[in-house]
Structure 1
Amino acid sequence: MDNWRKSSYSGPDDGNACVEIANNSTRVAIRDSKAPRDRTLTFPTPTFTTFINALKKQ
């Protein structure tokens, strides 16, 4: 996945402490912006959507 983007919650003061996300039609990947060459977490899109929706209800 090449279309990495930073979290929308990353501001000017915490730009070095955020996550990046990339997605395509079937998978969502997450990585640490400070270590982009390290491992990533990858989830099927429906699983990630369910996870995000559950977080929004908190």
Structure 2
Amino acid sequence: MITSKTKLIAIFGDPIDQTLSPAIQNAAIAELGLDYVYVPFHITPDGLKGAVESVRALN
């Protein structure tokens, strides 16, 4: 279950739909019993700076 304590791992890409890493990483995270979630985000090159700043602000 995702809670306010769940740690976010993000992967940015353009394109991003083809990546298998979220499925692979989330399976490993679940197997290890870690409170993390690995999420792909479609971020264009122009939006990269803002996306990184936003993720850093999440704490």
> Which is bigger in relative contact order (C-alpha 8 A, separation at least 6)?
2
- TM-score, normalized by length of structure 2? 0.27
Which structure is higher in helix share? 2
Give the TM-score normalised by structure 1.
0.28
